[in-house]
Structure 1
Amino acid sequence: MRNTRPLAAVTALLCAAGLAFTGTIGAQAAGTGIDTVAPEGFDVTLYDYSIGMDSCATPAANLDTGINKGSNLKFFCSPADDAGDRNVMDRYINRYGRDSGYEFPANGTAERTLNANGYPVMRDDTNHGTITQDLGYLFDSSQHDGKTVYRVANPNLLRDDGDGQYTFDDWWGATYDKASGSFEVVDNGRQGMFFPFDPQGGDWTAKNHYFGMKLTQDFWQPTDGLTLSDKPMKFSFQGDDDVWIYIDGVLVADLGGINIGEATIDLSTGAIHTWKNMLTQAEGGKGYDTTIREQFEKAGVTPDGGFDGDTFADNTGHTLTMFYLERGNYSSTFGLSYNLQPVSYPLTYELNGGSGVNPNKEQ
Structure 2
Amino acid sequence: MRLSSLAVALALALPLAAQAAPITLTGTIRDFNFAGTVSSGVGGHPDFEAFLGSATGIVESTLGGDGKPVLSAVHPTVTSAASFHQWYHDDPTVNATGSITITLDPITATTYQYSNNNFFPIDGLLLAQNIGGHNFAFTTEFHTQFTYQTANDDNFSFSGDDDVWVFINGVLAIDLGGVHGAIGGSVNLNTFAALNGLVNGSDYTLDVFQAERHTTGSNFTMTTSLQLVTPPTGELPEPASLGLVGAALLAAGAAARRRR
Normalised TM-score (structure 2): 0.69
The residue number in structure 2 matching 1:44 is 27
Write the distance in 1 (CA, Å) between the matches of 2:138 and 2:186.
Answer: 23
Write the distance in 2 (CA, Å) between the matches of 1:219 and 1:116.
Answer: 21
Write the distance in 2 (CA, Å) between the matches of 1:330 and 1:123.
Answer: 27
Write the distance in 1 (CA, Å) between the matches of 2:75 and 2:123.
Answer: 39
Write the distance in 2 (CA, Å) between the matches of 1:337 and 1:221.
Answer: 17
Alpha-carbon distance change, 54 to 160 in structure 1, aligned in 2, over 3 angstroms: farther
Write the distance in 1 (CA, Å) between the matches of 2:104 and 2:132.
Answer: 25
| CA RMSD of superposed structures (Å) | 3.4
Write the distance in 1 (CA, Å) between the matches of 2:110 and 2:84.
Answer: 32
Contact 1:121 1:134 in 2 (8 A): no
Contact 2:36 2:45 in 1 (8 A): no
| 1:147 matched to 2:147 | no
Alpha-carbon distance change, 261 to 52 in structure 1, aligned in 2, over 3 angstroms: closer
Alpha-carbon distance change, 254 to 206 in structure 1, aligned in 2, over 3 angstroms: same
- From 235, 238, 255, the counterpart of 2:156: 235
What amino acid does structure 1 have at the position aligned with 2:178?
G
- From 56, 60, 67, the counterpart of 2:45: 67
Normalized per residue, the structure richer in helix is: 2
Contact 1:120 1:135 in 2 (8 A): no
- From 71, 79, 83, the counterpart of 1:122: 71
* Alpha-carbon displacement from aligned partner over 1:303-350 (angstroms, at most 9, x marks no partner): xxxx3xxxx221000010010000022211111111212544443222
Alpha-carbon distance change, 157 to 198 in structure 1, aligned in 2, over 3 angstroms: farther
The residue number in structure 2 matching 1:262 is 184
What amino acid does structure 1 have at the position aligned with 2:222?
L
Write the distance in 2 (CA, Å) between the matches of 1:262 and 1:45.
Answer: 22
Write the mapping of 1:1-363 to structure 2, written as runs, cut at 5 A.
Answer: 39=23, 42-51=25-34, 54=37, 65-68=43-46, 74-76=47-49, 83=50, 96-97=53-54, 106-124=55-73, 132=81, 135-140=84-89, 142-152=90-100, 155-161=101-107, 163-169=109-115, 172=116, 192-198=117-123, 205-222=132-149, 224-226=150-152, 232-259=153-180, 260-267=182-189, 269-270=190-191, 291-294=192-195, 296=196, 307=197, 312-342=198-228, 343=242, 344-353=245-254
Question: CA shift at 1:95, angstroms?
Answer: 5.6
* Alpha-carbon displacement from aligned partner over 1:34-70 (angstroms, at most 9, x marks no partner): xxx8626x33111111136548xxxxxxxxx4233xx
What amino acid does structure 2 have at the position aligned with 1:220?
T
Contact 2:164 2:177 in 1 (8 A): yes
Question: CA shift at 1:236, angstroms?
Answer: 1.0
What amino acid does structure 2 have at the position aligned with 1:257?
G
Question: CA shift at 1:137, angstroms?
Answer: 2.0
Contact 1:52 1:146 in 2 (8 A): no
Alpha-carbon distance change, 323 to 39 in structure 1, aligned in 2, over 3 angstroms: same
Question: CA shift at 1:161, angstroms?
Answer: 4.4
What amino acid does structure 1 have at the position aligned with 2:86?
Y
Q: 5+ unaligned residues in a row in structure 1: which ranges?
A: 1-36, 56-64, 69-73, 77-82, 84-93, 98-105, 173-191, 227-231, 271-290, 297-306
Write the distance in 1 (CA, Å) between the matches of 2:22 and 2:33.
Answer: 28
What amino acid does structure 2 have at the position aligned with 1:119?
K
Normalised TM-score (structure 1): 0.51
Give the secondary-structure state (helix, strand or coil) at the position aligned to 1:67: coil
Write the distance in 1 (CA, Å) between the matches of 2:22 and 2:29.
Answer: 15
Contact 2:144 2:206 in 1 (8 A): yes
* Alpha-carbon displacement from aligned partner over 1:103-146 (angstroms, at most 9, x marks no partner): xxx3322111111111111234799xxx6457442212x24123
